[in-house]
Amino acid sequence: MSHSAEPLPMTARRSGPLTGTAKVPGDKSISHRALILGALSVGETHITGLLEGQDVLDTAKAMQAFGAQVQRLDEGEWRVNGVGIGGFAEPEGVIDCGNSGTGVRLIMGAMATTPITATFTGDASLSHRPMGRITDPLELFGCEVTAREGKRLPVTIRGASEPVPVRYKTPVASAQIKSAILLAGLNAPGETVVIETEPTRDHTERMLAGFGASIRTEITDEGRVITLKGRPELNPQPVAVPCDPSSAAFPVAAALIVPGSEIRVPGVSRNPTRDGLFVTLIEMGADIRFENNREEGGEPVADLVVRHGPLKGVTVPPERAVSMIDEFPILSVIACFAQGTTVMQGVHELRVKESDRIDAMAVGLRANGAEVEDTADTMTVHGKGVLGGGATCASHLDHRIAMSFLVAGLASERPISVDDGGPIATSFPDFLPLMRGLGAQID
Ligand code: S3P
């Protein structure tokens, strides 16, 4: 569903110490994949901890449109009765993926090797994002693609009736590209191979293996070579979705910058392909403890204990960008409250996310008194330990931009507002009550 409601302005004010437990929602990446793999299995997949954000709800609706039975049993508890690989039915209507790049790209992959036709659309943000990075490799399987100028949505795909397996080296480090190809490869005979030069998040590989597909990853001179045997029988598995480290980043950041804070964030995924923000924060001197390290649902998780304390600027090397790609907006806020310069390198992909995140953060932080420089591929923040605040920032239909500025306002001298907090519901529907429960002043 596209975010078309009236704008929802929000303001965050300097708050007293944040304390308590922040139970953040289920991982967005894993939630999309659980629904899609459930729909591609024969039989019943039981999911707990599913993120009930709009992005994931749109994927659930899409899976129903392709013929799967998807049912909500309780909060975060869902049941999917799948149709099997190659079993997708042709949807009656257009598939509206709302704001979700992950949703639309993974679903395009999942249907591209089944001989049905589907048209995909999304909101104003998604309609500006590049789809050629997905449709180009999908065409190699034999599907036909029609898209708007610049390979943007709406896109219509006529799935391949005689798909062939593909060997593809991803030109940009993107888990969405990798995952779309692997999902398409499920219904191609023989072996589909994806080669990536940087290790992007590996939830698709982990979950496919868990559902019984034959998939292996080898590290070679070419990069990470992932090989999937086509036409497996996927066996439904219970999926326990861990808490989303990308959502945990917001209360964690708030606790780090609001003096006197100490919070606990239980059950957060510590998948090494998603861990870059925590690595960086530790380098900045952040007081974060990881307790009860354990495995849940095939993913490493831990309980986080986070305390306010002094932070220093650091340089984030380009090879780390992919493991924290969604966390740079909030890191740029934390960097304002550190002493010294933080340089974020290799971040060009931020320019094609839900918004141009480098521009959105640079413009908004400058308006609030920060010293920020940006180039095509870098963002630099000269941290002074404080932020003036006082400005209203544009969220550009981007949940992470809205949440980042609201967290900044909890520690800035004057309040910080966002023009529209509505998009927060795409990934973190309980952001406001959760933050208020810790003592944050946001209205
Ligand atoms: C995602 C991959 C990332 C990330 C997005 C979720 C996924 O995108 O930014 O929020 O679930 O695969 P790219 O793989 O395109 O970098």
Classify residue 376 by burial, with Cβ atoms within 10 Å: 0-12, 13-18, 19+: exposed
How many Å apart are CA 23 and CA 265, to the nearest integer? 6
The mean pLDDT value for 393-416 works out to 98
The CATH code that applies to domain 28-230 is 3.65.10.10
How many Å apart are CA 342 and CA 311, to the nearest integer? 11
The model's confidence at residue 282, banded by pLDDT at 50, 70 and 90, is: very high
Closest CA to 299 of 272, 275, 269: 269
Instruction: Output the residue whose Cα is nearest ligand 1's atom 13.
Output: 174
How many Å apart are CA 224 and CA 13, to the nearest integer? 45
pLDDT digits (tens, 9 = 90+) for 48-63: 999 999 999 999 999 9
Closest CA to 305 of 285, 286, 283, 290: 290
Q: Which helix (H) or strand (E) holds 28?
A: helix 28-39
Classify residue 233 by burial, with Cβ atoms within 10 Å: 0-12, 13-18, 19+: exposed
The helix/strand/coil state of 373 is strand
Closest CA to 203 of 170, 223, 226, 220: 226
CA of 96 to the centre of ligand 1 (A): 18
CA of 388 to the centre of ligand 1 (A): 32
Question: Between the CA atoms of 416, 419, 424 and 426, what dihedral angle is there, to the nearest 10 degrees?
Answer: -160
Identify the pLDDT of residue 5: 74
Cα 401–Cα 407–Cα 410 angle in degrees, nearest 5: 145
Structure tokens at 369: 């008194």
How many Å apart are CA 29 and CA 178, to the nearest integer? 13
Chain region(s) in the chain for CATH 3.65.10.10: 10-26+242-442, 28-230
Q: Chain centroid to CA 76: how far? A: 18
The model's confidence at residue 2, banded by pLDDT at 50, 70 and 90, is: very low
Percent residues over pLDDT 70 in the chain: 99
pLDDT digits (tens, 9 = 90+) for 303-342: 999 999 999 999 999 999 999 999 999 999 999 999 999 9
* Torsion 350-356-357-363 (CA) sign: positive
Instruction: Output the residue whose Cα is nearest ligand 1's atom 15.
Output: 174
For ligand 1, say whether the CB of 27 is within 6 Å of any of its atoms.
no
Cα 266–Cα 272–Cα 277 angle in degrees, nearest 5: 70
Would you say residue 220 has pLDDT above 60?
yes
Is 326 catalytic? The answer is: yes
Would you say residue 1 has pLDDT above 70?
no
Q: Give the atom of ligand 1 at the shortest distance from the alpha carbon of 174.
A: 14
pLDDT digits (tens, 9 = 90+) for 130-166: 999 999 999 999 999 999 999 999 999 999 999 999 9
Sheet holding 19-21, edge to edge: 19-21, 262-269, 299-307, 287-296
CA of 414 to the centre of ligand 1 (A): 34
For ligand 1, say whether the CB of 323 is within 6 Å of any of its atoms.
no
Q: Which of 102, 107, 202 to mutate to test the pocket of ligand 1 (most atoms within 8 A of CB)?
A: 102
The helix/strand/coil state of 254 is helix
Residue 129 assigned ligand-binding role? yes
The mean pLDDT value for 403-416 works out to 98
Identify the pLDDT of residue 213: 98
pLDDT digits (tens, 9 = 90+) for 64-110: 999 999 999 999 999 999 999 999 999 999 999 999 999 999 999 99
- Contacts (Cβ under 8 Å, ≥6 apart) of 49: 26, 76, 240, 241, 242, 243
CA of 275 to the centre of ligand 1 (A): 14
Identify the pLDDT of residue 390: 98
The model's confidence at residue 297, banded by pLDDT at 50, 70 and 90, is: confident
Full-model pTM: 0.97
For the chain, the average pLDDT equals 97
Kindly state which CATH superfamily the domain 10-26+242-442 is placed in: Enolpyruvate transferase domain (3.65.10.10)
Would you say residue 3 has pLDDT above 90?
no
Residue 320 assigned ligand-binding role? no
The mean pLDDT value for 195-203 works out to 97
How many Å apart are CA 30 and CA 222, to the nearest integer? 27
Which DSSP state fits 264? E
